[in-house]
Amino acid sequence: MTIKRFSIPWMLILFLFPSVVCFLLFKYYPLLHMIYISLFDYSIVNPPGKFAGLTNYTGILTSATFWEAVSNTFVFFVLYLVLTFWVPVIQALLLSEIRKGNALFRFLYQLPTIMPMVAGVLIWKWMYNPDFGLLNYWLSFVGLGPYLWLNDLDITKLAIVLPSLFAGSGISLLLYYSAIRSVPTEILEAAKVDGAGPWKRMWTMLLPNIKFIIIIQFVTFMSGVLLAYDNIYVMTQGGPAGSTTVVSMLIVNTAFQQSRFGVSAAMSAFMFLVIALLTIIQNKISSVKD
């Protein structure tokens, strides 16, 4: 008598249930709620308020503030790209050539990563101090300045990006470095036999071998720049004259300062779409490689 008993997989339910509840409650429900809010002229006192259809979405597309924030974000993107993105690649390539003190340098490179971003920004803010700061003092030796680093419309964005040039490479440096170390030594030896010098080997063998990681990191980098908030907020709070207000900051300000929840939610949805797109692209690239 073989009766296949159907048993409820209690263990499976017990083990998955807590996580499922947490993800539904803290990710999926808020996501749906955000989209719901974006369809209303949302009132927090008497939710959900007046139904607004898509007017919040069309509203942001015609809002000058929004497009200014988009353009600020874009300028930041270009600045980060030009000033910081390539730095860890170079650092990792050169670090892999170093034998003596390699572990020490790797340790020192990661040291700034462990500083809370807020603390790191505060140090730079102090160095940017126009009257007593270190930077203006040093620049005065070469006849430059004094600059109002954080109050000058022309250079404030630069002042926000600059710290990342020196202290922003920890994790990506490690990624590139471990990718370089995993390049098989045989192909390097072969290139050496073929007469490729060390510089040539670096550019033509090592760099192409980590191209894939660079592309993946580039997508991560893009979402990182889009979502940058903490360092800008602590450094300038979006000023002067809104010149460093990026989209993420506009989302927060619209909701928590101006109480225009519907509009903020519509911008959040916009941000979600962009980031989701970037993540999907990243996954596509990863799976191509696999």
Other CB atoms within 10 Å distance of the CB of residue 232: 23
Describe the chain by its helix, strand, coil percentages, rounded to 5. Answer: 70, 0, 25
Only one of the segments 58-66, 69-77, 78-86, 171-179 lies at the binding site for another protein (rule: CB under 8 A); that segment is: 171-179
**Identity of the residue, 75 or 278, whose beta carbon is nearer to another protein in the bound complex:** 278
**Identity of the residue, 75 or 93, whose beta carbon is nearer to another protein in the bound complex:** 93
* 182-217 b/e (C-beta count within 10 Å ≥ 16 → b): eeeeeebeebeeeebeeeebbeebbeebbeebbebb
Site string for another protein, 207-236 (x = CB under 8 A): ------x--x---x--xx-xx-xx--xx--
Among 82, 94, 187, 241, which residue interacts with another protein (rule: CB under 8 A)? 94
Q: How far is the CB of 267 from another protein (least distance, A)?
A: 9
> Can you list the positions of beta strands (E) in the chain?
40-41, 50-51
The one-letter code for the residue type at 193 is V
Site for another protein in 270-289 (CB under 8 A): 271-272, 275-276, 279-280
**Does the footprint of another protein cover residue 15 (CB under 8 A)?**
yes
Give the count of residues interacting with another protein (CB under 8 A): 97
Among 1, 131, 186, 193, which residue interacts with another protein (rule: CB under 8 A)? 131
Cα 207 versus chain centre, distance = 23
* 233-253 b/e (C-beta count within 10 Å ≥ 16 → b): bbbbebeeebbbbbbbbbbeb
Q: Is 155 exposed, middle or buried (0-12, 13-18, 19+ CB in 10 A)?
A: middle
Among 5, 46, 132, 142, which residue interacts with another protein (rule: CB under 8 A)? 132
Start-to-end Cα distance in the chain: 48
C-alpha to C-alpha distance for 247 and 228, rounded to whole angstroms: 9
C-alpha to C-alpha distance for 181 and 94, rounded to whole angstroms: 12
Q: How far is the CB of 157 from another protein (least distance, A)?
A: 19
**Does the footprint of another protein cover residue 108 (CB under 8 A)?**
yes
Q: How far is the CB of 22 from another protein (least distance, A)?
A: 4
Only one of the segments 31-39, 61-69, 74-82, 183-191 lies at the binding site for another protein (rule: CB under 8 A); that segment is: 31-39
Site for another protein in 237-266 (CB under 8 A): 248, 251-252, 255-256, 261, 264-265
Site for another protein in 175-194 (CB under 8 A): 175, 178, 192
Site for another protein in 51-70 (CB under 8 A): none
